[in-house]
Chain A
Amino acid sequence: MKKVYLQADNMVSSLGLTTREHWVNLVAGKSGIKETSHKRIGSVWVSEVDNHNLEKAFLKYEIPEKATRLERMAAYSIKEALEGSNLDLKDPTTGFIFSTTKGNVDFLKTREALNELDSSLALHSTAKKIWSMCGGGNQNPVVVCNACISGLMAIIIGGRLIRQGVYDRVVVCGADEISDFVLTGFNALKALGSSACKPFDAKRDGISLGEGCATVVLTRDANFEGIEYVDGAVSNDANHISGPSRTASGLLQVVEQIWDGTEPIDFISAHGTATIYNDAMEAQGFNRLGMEDVPLNSFKGFWGHTLGAAGLLETIAAVQSMKEDLLIKSLGFDELEDAFPVSVLKSNRMTEVNQIFKTSSGFGGCNAGAIFKKND
């Protein structure tokens, strides 16, 4: 099987506009989730990307103005990830995968404003526009719209397309914004937490919505053999459209498919939304898999749940932990629930990290998991 490596990456969230900035803030235990007031909902805890810093970054990378904030953010993220690489995005051996749940949905009630920006609600148009803003060619983008596993699924698809010989390298980008649409929806579902989210904590009571964008460039070029994408899988637990399986069957199926237990997993970057049901499902799953002693965190205590960008942002942070041999604590976690013990990180830990596991789960019963390893 062809080897697939991680060539470059970028992270955009409340914690910064580069992977480096994120890492500094992760090590320092800084959260970007803040309390704000929403005209319909009232007090709400969210993680927002700073517009002032974004504008400066757009100027520096000459991101065209005639586009939506989401499109500009994604174009910036791709350009920043590829900075100094001389990669020609018109090269037909380079593919583009874009993950998002809602794209430009904030313009649903103001379509005229969207027309003026030559943008569209159609997600494939959004992806094509982002690609062309970055100098991309005629490659048809693959747009993954699969709820909260979209970002991780996009990486898995990229790895598979390279292994199948469709592309030599794939630019994988994911983005979602905080919109009234999504915020009122999660509020209606009573899924928003009463404070900054507390993944895996016994007192957790819901998510903090976040926005962000992230890019990973996958390649089969052995010059980049530092970190390898090993394998990934997707499943459906066929249980309920808005709640996870009570037996964690979807997660178990994914792990059984990609991990035979021979090479140890040193760290799990869990989905950890801080809803009662998701975290309980994951804890049960890891426990039943005999992974209860593997150090685990959720990065959502740092930048909230960034939906279509989540799997990408969290994968990059987890890979950075492996590169630095430094595991990051699960921010917001204090006390474990009794039912299914797992090893949630209460403080940062210096340790050798050679192989990691990233999971995501989402509405519609979907689960995804992927393994990455270090090549020393």
Chain B
Amino acid sequence: MTEHIHLHSTIQLNSRMLASGSKVLWENVNDKDLNQSLKEVYQLLDMAYPKFYKMDNLSKFGVLAVEALVKVAPELKAGDLEKTGVFLMNSSSSEETDEKYLATVNTEENSLPSPALFVYTLPNILIGEICIRHKFTGEQGFFVSDHFDSGFLYPYLEHLFQNELLEKAIIGWVEVKDEEPVAKLMYVKNNQDGGAKKIKEEAMKNWFQA
């Protein structure tokens, strides 16, 4: 069977750097802390999107990485946004924010737990934030796995591309619970326009595990 999945571009964001392929776009000089780093990347990407500051860390990380991906691949903003999908995974779901929310529940008697934090105790809120920012309305899914599960996602994407349910997709791993928070994204599409190249499952798996 012919594969339909073509890799267009990638983004990696962690506390040390932002990179697309081998091209470094930002480096953390002087060991800035996470908040300062995120702010610096936000400014670098020229976002002017005040909603960003209300997000939890998972959403901030993912939204910044997608912003960079859209800068690297502006064609993501064009075409049929109903046929643009977003599929993300991580291992801890929204556990970091779950703990922050629980801390607001366990405070003194009459204080109300934070509704704003509670909303972010669903990891797919990150997908919602990405879709709101870029108006993607296609297929989506947030999955929890201890590794980037290409064994599932690759044939699943293949199905969506083959049946013309999607033309483009952002797939990725966004994890903030670990000591080293990370967002790794791939922009994949169903054709080779714009220099996209066919990618096999093995190569996808290797890139996410590297």
Contact = CB atoms under 8 A, between A and B. Distances in A.
A66 interface: no
Contacts of A108: 98-99, 102
A374 interface: no
B129 A241 contact: yes
27 contacts: A40-B105, A103-B93, A109-B102, A109-B106, A124-B146, A140-B152, A143-B144, A145-B124, A145-B144, A146-B127, A146-B141, A157-B141, A161-B152, A166-B152, A166-B155, A181-B101, A188-B112, A234-B140, A234-B141, A235-B137, A237-B137, A257-B165, A363-B125, A364-B122, A364-B128, A365-B131, A366-B127
A144 B98 CA distance: 18
Interface of A is mostly: mixed
B143 A142 contact: yes
Interface string A155-167: 0010011011110
B139 A233 contact: yes
Interface in A90-142: 101-103, 105, 108-109, 121-125, 140, 142
A185 B113 contact: yes
Contact of A236 (B122, B138, B146): B138
B103 to A, nearest CB: 10
B26 interface: no
Contacts of B140: 146, 234-236, 366
Contacts of A241: 119, 125, 128-129, 132
A147 B124 contact: yes
Range of interface residues on chain A? 35 or more
A188 B114 contact: yes
Interface in B87-146: 91-93, 95, 98-99, 101-102, 105-106, 112-115, 118-119, 121-129, 131-132, 134-146
Contacts of A40: 105
Contacts of B102: 108-109, 181
A351 interface: no
A253 B122 CA distance: 23
Interface string A212-235: 000000000000000000000111
Nearest to A249: B137
A142 B149 contact: yes
